[in-house]
A = this chain, B = another copy of it.
Amino acid sequence: MGPGPSDVSERVLKALSQPTIGHLDPSFITLMNDIKSLLQYAFQTKNELTIPVSAPGSSGMETCFMNLVEPGDKVLVCINGVFGMRMREVATRAGAQVEALEFEWGEAVDPNAVISALAKNPDINMLAFVHAETSTGVCSDTKTLCQIARSHSCLSIVDAVTSLGGSELKVDEWGVDAIYSGTQKCLSCIPGLSPVSFSPKAVEKIKNRQGKSFSWFLDLNLVMDYWGEGAKRTYHHTAPVNSLYALHEALRILKEEGLEAACARHVLHHKALVAGLEALGIKMLVSEAIRLPQLNTVGIPDGIDDAEVRSSLLKDYDLEIGAGLGKFAGKAWRIGLMGNACNKKNVTYCIASLGAVLNQQGHSCDVEQALKLTEQAYQA
């Protein structure tokens, strides 16, 4: 129950450990096609360029900037946590002129501030922001932000590492141009792959680049020849075959449940968790309207030792919760309810064991009452 990797199901682990076949084997090509359609479903898009990058989420971020940014491009990066900061860094290294728009940690990206910044800088041609900020547990209004980008002739670049499969996300309807995610959050697949999707407009920019991307490994003009439609399937790099078996299975599980049901499940258990946490005297750090159900950022009670509690939970209860990152380090815990790990058993177990550890550490709380209120939230 940390901020990811989340619990991987037996089905996904079983798929993962099937015998390795060649990355150009006809059966594997069929699997690649299946993965593409399942990813299109997960992202709610018809984008042809919807594929898993063969490396973790950060490389998906890098794929977006390394391919879209050309000399002279100016990117407005919205920063409300660690991953917005990372976007600024990656965009800068890719050669972009970066304009940063900073927000308080724990707050969402403010669309009005974005409108003002774009009005002041009419030569900005890309808008980058994080849908679900994993460092703070905040959800930003991606639909509105993408509309703003379009109306200012900007391409939108969206970090959906923690949102894919856990929060509403409609790439085509919202007009997202480039988006990347990770497999180890709400998809509950193993870490190491980064699903990405690019709109036809983004693909056009990539295909018409004047110069080559700095990265050969992430160069989509080459990767498209391997992952693209038709019989070409030109060898680029050796695909991570077994990890892709696992992703295929994780996406099938998501489709079986259905996106809407998966999102509703995340909200249900999140509400019960919050009821229990608050009953333990723990404060939610993010206001209700912009909270991510899959990542709950809570304040560490006064006088309680951050590391001792997490270490006791891990050692005595086999339960992982996440430390605070960046400005929240030592001040917050991040409790994940992602994908396969988002269930009633985990919620109840978390309240019971966190309550017990807090009592041991001198933060007096009524665990029985907290469990009762958790259960009531489920009945509501």
A239 touches B191 (CB 8 A): yes
In the assembled complex, the Cα of A88 lies from the Cα of B59 at a distance in Å of 22
Chain B residues, Cβ within 8 Å of A108: none
Contact with B along A61-77 (1 / 0, CB 8 A): 01000100000000000
A214 touches B215 (CB 8 A): yes
A156 interfacial by beta-carbon distance below 8 Å: no
Please judge, given known A-B contacts A25-B320, A62-B215, whether A16 and B16 are in contact too, CB under 8 Å.
yes
A16 touches B182 (CB 8 A): no
A59 touches B217 (CB 8 A): yes
Chain B residues, Cβ within 8 Å of A26: 314
In the assembled complex, the Cα of A55 lies from the Cα of B191 at a distance in Å of 11
A331 interfacial by beta-carbon distance below 8 Å: no
Q: How large is the interface on A (under 10, 10 to 19, 20 to 34, 35 or more residues)?
A: 35 or more
B23 touches A191 (CB 8 A): yes
A97 interfacial by beta-carbon distance below 8 Å: no
B93 touches A213 (CB 8 A): yes
B182 touches A238 (CB 8 A): yes
User: Which residue of the partner chain B has the closest CB to A315?
Assistant: B26
CB distance from A294 to the nearest CB of B (A): 15
A237 interfacial by beta-carbon distance below 8 Å: yes
Contact with B along A241-280 (1 / 0, CB 8 A): 1110010000000000000000000000000000000000
Q: Which among B5, B25, B215 is the interface contact of A238 at CB below 8 angstroms? A: B5
CB distance from A105 to the nearest CB of B (A): 17
In the assembled complex, the Cα of A24 lies from the Cα of B324 at a distance in Å of 13
Please judge, given known A-B contacts A13-B19, A93-B212, A94-B214, whether A192 and B8 are in contact too, CB under 8 Å.
no
Q: Using a CB-CB cutoff of 8 Å, which residues 158-215 of chain A contact chain B?
A: 182, 184, 190-192, 212-215
A150 interfacial by beta-carbon distance below 8 Å: no
Q: Is the interface of A mostly helix, strand, loop or mixed?
A: loop
Q: Which among B25, B57, B58, B235 is the interface contact of A216 at CB below 8 angstroms? A: B58
B89 touches A242 (CB 8 A): no
Chain B residues, Cβ within 8 Å of A57: 237-238
CB distance from A75 to the nearest CB of B (A): 15
In the assembled complex, the Cα of A24 lies from the Cα of B320 at a distance in Å of 10
CB distance from A16 to the nearest CB of B (A): 5
In the assembled complex, the Cα of A20 lies from the Cα of B187 at a distance in Å of 13
Contact with B along A286-316 (1 / 0, CB 8 A): 0000000000000000000000000000100
A56 interfacial by beta-carbon distance below 8 Å: yes
In the assembled complex, the Cα of A375 lies from the Cα of B167 at a distance in Å of 62
In the assembled complex, the Cα of A25 lies from the Cα of B54 at a distance in Å of 24
In the assembled complex, the Cα of A14 lies from the Cα of B66 at a distance in Å of 36
A216 touches B89 (CB 8 A): yes
Sorted nearest first, the 5 A-B pairs with minimum C-beta distance are A192-B240, A55-B55, A17-B17, A214-B214, A58-B237
A sample of 15 cross-chain residue pairs with beta-carbon separation below 8 angstroms, ordered by A number, consists of A5-B21, A7-B19, A8-B19, A16-B242, A17-B17, A56-B239, A58-B237, A62-B217, A93-B212, A93-B216, A191-B239, A192-B240, A192-B243, A214-B214, A235-B325
With A22-B320, A55-B56, A62-B215 known, 6 other A-B pairs at CB within 8 A are A8-B242, A58-B216, A58-B217, A93-B215, A190-B243, A191-B239
